[in-house]
Amino acid sequence: MTTTLKDLRPVYVVGAGWHRYQNPSDNPYVALGLKATRDALEDAAIEWRAVDTAYIATALLPMAPGRAILRHLGASGVELIHIENASASGSAAFRKACIEVASGISDVALVLGVDKHGSHPRGRGEAIAGIGNLADDAIVPFTHFSLLADQYAQRHGVSHEDIARVAVKNHGNGAKNPNAQRQQARTLDEVVGGRKVSGNFTTLQCTPVGEGAAAVIVASEDAIRRLGIAGSKPIRVSGSAGRSQRVYDNPTAYDASLTAETTEIALRQAGLAPKDIDIVELHDAFTVEEVEYVEAMGFCPAGQAVPLLKEGAWDINGKCAVNPSGGLIAMGHPIGPTGVGQIGEIVLQLRGEAGLRQHKPARVGLAHMVGVGAVCYVHTLQKD
């Protein structure tokens, strides 16, 4: 019999911080990581010495960058664990930190995602697995998802302009987020009229990969009491699930199938149904992903995501706010920080501290990431 997060002692997110996601710069990753970590500690109003364990999520930096960052907070001897899990690195690190605190091994954990595009480019493991491929380098991520967009549009009879409305919504949300890489609202004409990259995708329908950092502090009830953390800060982590790709009956829908089964596990663990979710931060690296995933998660029937998008159901203050941060399309996708930043956004929303992009009411949030389609993480967070 296995144990899930809900069988263990409660865990909470008590602090969140960012270094703004941005285009690659000369600013060293150490400065990015320190800014996010210090802001998360300040948000929780705790000292670095109160942290028992630290998880560092990174997919683009060289080996073991954690100590190079965290020693500048005072080298406390805290355990440092580095996690690489493609786009879902931050989500995986968050899950492992929650499990460690829930188990009682640690009371307070830092989860820091930090990355710099181009600093230490790594290929994909699959590319050097020794198994050939007909199209080799021809299919980069935007083409993989452009193929899915063509399939979705033909299957459901929707236009590519309608799918592009995801980007209009998310650029609008990003314009209200001081930590977003892209902070400019865009019209549909601007989105579809931009430079085409593959199929009907233009650059504004694709995530920018730059640099940045995001950090959250995970704590037990004991730690919250002992450290005197303010009652308005803690947000409960009620469900956590991580899965990897299987062989599905529909081989072209593996991203959505993996999302569906991972979401179902996390919701069941938390005792929630899709209708209970107020806020979703999901992996919208490309517009079509958002419509595919809200359907896979059970927020609407297949083929209904686009009509609901046009009605404003996924807007801030709509039926369910999807990617109020701006999502990967506007907030950006520095890789390691992305999944951590999603958790931080949901925490701000559930506390009512999201400013211009506040969704009301917000009591339950869900965070979702996939990593090269091969891994998927879903977390649910709730205001007690």
Q: Does 159 bind another protein (CB under 8 A)?
A: no
Task: Supply angle C-alpha 316, 42, 181, rounded to 5.
Answer: 45
CB of 217 to another protein, least distance (A): 38
Among 1, 63, 135, 275, binds another protein (CB under 8 A): 135
**150 or 315: CB nearest another protein:** 150
Nearest to 94 by CA among 112, 114, 67, 70: 112
| In the complex, least distance from residue 194 CB atom to another protein, rounded to whole angstroms | 11
Minimal distance, residue 254 CB to another protein, in Å: 10
Selected range binding another protein among 129-137, 156-164, 233-241, 343-351, rule: CB under 8 A: 129-137
Using the rule CB under 8 A, is 138 a contact of another protein? yes
Is residue 139 a contact residue for another protein (CB under 8 A)? yes
**8 A C-beta contact, residue 300 and residue 320:** no
Ordered DSSP codes for 273-315 = -GGG--EEE---SBHHHHHHHHHHTTSS-TT-HHHHHHHTTTS
Task: Catalogue the E-assigned strands of 79-210.
Answer: 79-83, 108-116, 196-198, 201-202
Distance CA 137, CA 313 (A): 38
Window 184 to 203, contacts with another protein (CB under 8 A): 195-199
- Closest CB to another protein among 147 and 175? 147
Choice between 2 and 154, CB closer to another protein = 154
The least distance separating another protein from the CB of residue 152, rounded to whole angstroms, comes to 9
Q: Which residue, 151 or 183, is less far from another protein as judged by CB?
A: 151
Distance CA(16)–CA(372), nearest Å, equals: 26
| Residue 18, beta-bridge partner list | 214
For residue 128, state whether it binds another protein (rule: CB under 8 A): no
Tell whether residue 148 is a contact of another protein (CB under 8 A): yes
Quick check: 226 binds another protein (CB under 8 A)?
Answer: no
Q: Is 81 in the site for another protein (CB under 8 A)?
A: no
Phi, psi of 309 (to 5 degrees): -60, -45
Segments of the chain assigned E as strands:
11-22, 53-57, 79-83, 108-116, 196-198, 201-202, 211-220, 235-244, 279-281, 321-322, 364-371, 375-382
Rounded to a whole number of angstroms, the minimum distance from the CB of residue 201 to another protein is: 8
In what order do the strands lie in the sheet containing 11-22?
79-83, 53-57, 108-116, 211-220, 11-22, 235-244, 375-382, 364-371, 279-281, 321-322
Nearest-approach distance from CB 328 to another protein, in angstroms: 19
The count of residues interacting with another protein (CB under 8 A) is: 27
In 3D space, the residue among 364, 95, 87 whose CA is nearest the CA of residue 242 turns out to be 95
Whole-number Å distance between alpha carbons of 240 and 266: 5
- Please report how close the Cβ of residue 122 comes to another protein at its closest, in angstroms: 16
* 155 forms part of the interface with another protein (CB under 8 A): yes
Residues from 238 through 297 that contact another protein (CB under 8 A):
247, 251-252
Q: How many CB atoms lie within 10 A of CB 160?
A: 19
Say whether residue 140 binds another protein (CB under 8 A).
yes
Nearer to another protein, 288 or 350 (CB): 288
Summarize as ranges the residues that interact with another protein (CB under 8 A): 130-135, 137-140, 143, 146-151, 154-155, 195-199, 247, 251-252
